[in-house]
Structure 1
């Protein structure tokens, strides 16, 4: 079985979708799927390379936004025509799916698409507001063989636009259970020493420093947290457009680490994971924190309410409620027993349902059914 994965950006440009594809592709290869990645070429990156045994073709997409999208579609169609796959797996409702649907029309190749995010600024919402968006949604509804969803929010949006239940398939994001696992309290103390982290309560955020993540709200409440816990520290792992402004606003107890490869080591050293986003798909950062046995305080957006039982496997608050964010952070940092209970249940949930091998097996079953 030959499957082309079409995604706008790929390694070394890394986001949630890119990380998921990079982790699941080798596991699909192990199941007998020949995976090829088609993505856009950016300056300084080679046109072709193999990453972890996966061939990656970077295709030209010059010019402004609309021209670049058209150029990418034409380049990808040419690559598909030269070496037709058995199936195309598109990531998002935008250029990747446009390309895949044209390939289906021209070469009768089945298409599945993964919806990356729901809610405001999600795939469906964004496409609705683009030129001819409603017409494109209607067209995709007829042409796509299966829509992969990662949250009940996305399921509901697809149902609303008329995608039949038989073509909506829930396959969650996955997490590396060996890499992200809990440490004992003694191991945790040693890990803090190895990373030269401060003593005292330690909260952590991992992900992009972008407006929709609402990291500014987390930084804004941190002085109040430190009033309650003078030795408390906040670790921010990641980079993005808000990095500079956040650094200007943050006090000395907010520590910026930028992008790091060994995220798991910092998660294992922390006491609390916080994700205050206004919108999400199914957050890889959340899955990783839960797998590492961390109690997670997250906003009830995207897939978070699907995987967290409030007060059992994590803590949910409404988005954009700074007061509730502050209250919850202070409460959780001061309750070690609750931290441990939430962390244990979180780990159990992830092990039971979100391992990468399970995700790869579900994708393989879907591909087989579509073919």
Structure 2
């Protein structure tokens, strides 16, 4: 039997639409391919995009999804099945429990193709919560729990939600997101200061957010807190890097010391130039932006939702605060801005953890191991 595995990845959107899940696929694809995994991506086709494209050496099939949401999910599945039949993958890997997982389950039933689903988010805006609100949501969850071969969980919170929904423990596999620690390596101080000047960051401390500007990130709350941060640290600047539906509101609300920066292809320079990273989300899966910040050696302040509680060691690599306590968020930001030596220690501890536990090669290896265990059986490729 050949050791080459064919894996079809199904995701709601893909490049040039970029989010955390898309970046994970793009980052892991070269490592998986180098290790003998042949990949193809199936995603939705948005206006202006071609039906087929090679991206980073991976074939990407974009499928039409006209009509309202319930019909669109069905149309996507029906369009995906012929593509899957032609590719004949050994395994289907869905990213999200909505239409990608439903399509994977359909392939499992029609072709007998083993299928796994990665659950992207937990909480009130998470995958399971969204699915429960859909028509026949409870039945769909039960079908996925019984029909899929495994669930990839990126946080212990997601793992607990799946267990409560009836997923057997043997189907739950914890594999976190990965991060390229070399790409985000901290700079020597002279280089860092030169970079800050080139980015227009003055001598005061820079507090950074990178990512999607959507409601669940609660950036509006952070902007409202900023005048109080400036009272304690008059030279502090808040840098918000990204795009999203909340950006126009943030542009109107932003005051002195708040800079909104358009999305950039590479966030590494901003991470290397900043002094502190803040993630004030109401809900998360495992934030790639958080992992990148820690890989860059930044101290972090984050709400204790999703994978942040797994990644950040309270008082060792950062500060965790409850998502409904803006007063504690303010206190944590001000405390770390006042303590450069504490920031340095937190940043160093966080980077060391990213290197040892969240490296891309480690995550890619764990994924391939899961694929092999499900398709070949645990004793064939030992």
TM-score normalised by the chain length of structure 2? 0.95
Partner of 1:348: 352
Instruction: Indicate whether 1:15 and 2:16 are aligned.
Output: no
Q: Alignment partner of 1:343: what SS?
A: helix
Report the count of equivalent residues: 371
Q: Deviations over 1:280-307 (max 9, x none)?
A: 0000000000000000000000001111
Quote the offset at 1:333 in angstroms: 0.6
Structure 2 Cα separation of the partners of residues 304 and 168 of structure 1:
19
Quote the offset at 1:129 in angstroms: 2.2
Taking the TM superposition and a 5 Å limit, the aligned residue runs for 1:204-223 are 204-223=208-227
Taking the TM superposition and a 5 Å limit, the aligned residue runs for 1:98-113 are 98-113=102-117
Instruction: Indicate whether 1:54 and 2:58 are aligned.
Output: yes
Instruction: Indicate whether 1:144 and 2:148 are aligned.
Output: yes
Quote the offset at 1:194 in angstroms: 2.2
Instruction: Indicate whether 1:336 and 2:340 are aligned.
Output: yes
Instruction: Indicate whether 1:243 and 2:243 are aligned.
Output: no
| Structure 1 segments of 4+ aligned residues over 6 angstroms from their partners | none
Instruction: Indicate whether 1:32 and 2:29 are aligned.
Output: no
Structure 1 Cα separation of the partners of residues 249 and 336 of structure 2:
27
Quote the offset at 1:195 in angstroms: 1.7
Structure 2 Cα separation of the partners of residues 195 and 211 of structure 1:
27
Quote the offset at 1:173 in angstroms: 0.2
Structure 2 Cα separation of the partners of residues 235 and 319 of structure 1:
21
Partner of 2:361: 357
Q: Deviations over 1:43-69 (max 9, x none)?
A: 101111111101101111112222221
Of residues 232, 239, 244, the one that matches 2:236 is 232
Structure 1 Cα separation of the partners of residues 166 and 105 of structure 2:
18
Structure 2 residue ranges without an equivalent (≥5): 376-382
Answer with 336-345 or 196-205: which moved more.
196-205
Partner of 1:167: 171
Of residues 303, 307, 312, the one that matches 1:299 is 303
Structure 2 Cα separation of the partners of residues 212 and 245 of structure 1:
14
Q: Alignment partner of 1:306: what SS?
A: helix
Partner of 2:379: none
Partner of 2:119: 115
Structure 2 Cα separation of the partners of residues 60 and 264 of structure 1:
34
Taking the TM superposition and a 5 Å limit, the aligned residue runs for 1:27-106 are 27-106=31-110
Structure 2 Cα separation of the partners of residues 99 and 222 of structure 1:
44
Structure 1 residue ranges without an equivalent (≥5): none
